[in-house]
Chain A
């Protein structure tokens, strides 16, 4: 693994199903983030974690949950997917909270 890895890269999901997007980084960055990117809108922060064991809510947290059991992993869970959660999801990390983010390649999620 080099950098930040997301899985799956693409997924079609039925509404009401539970889904976990995985994110792993090997850069030992303390801060990690989940964003969603929708056409015509800027990246919107869903949840973040400044360090292992802590998480915080971003701009659009409803319907999503995260955990940060260790430095490397930051999974995002949709408990019961809805069509409005159709989006491209990016995981990112940074050294502390510097603003220079390193992004994963994204997970394209379609909820039908």
Chain B
């Protein structure tokens, strides 16, 4: 079966750095996506990785290792507005997105 695993909840301090991990087992791989979802709102696209390595976009970076079935989202200089759920999704061989349950990130002052 297809499976995306990510921690249910994480807590971090304002101004710090946090790494949210995602491991996956899917039938085929055509890219990995990270989305941010604030409580009661719609998910919004953050990043896309299809090749191994690190993609940096401002305070957010996303890393992929296809051989390990592993990705992480790195958030630097945390702000209170970063409190949200972060969803990991993998596009499988049918080009459909398989979603993890999301990691709820709580930022404390």
Contacts and interface: CB of A to CB of B under 8 A. Distances in A.
B42 A58 contact: no
Interface stretch (B58-66, B75-83, B93-101): B93-101
Contacts of B45: 100-102
A30 to B, nearest CB: 13
For B48, B91, B97, B100, the residue with the greatest tally of chain A CB atoms inside 10 Å of its CB is: B97
Contacts of A43: 43, 87, 89, 97, 99
B42 A99 contact: no
B43 A42 contact: no
Interface of A: 40-45, 48, 58, 90, 97, 99-106
Interface of B: 4, 30-31, 33, 35, 41-45, 48, 87, 89, 91, 95-102
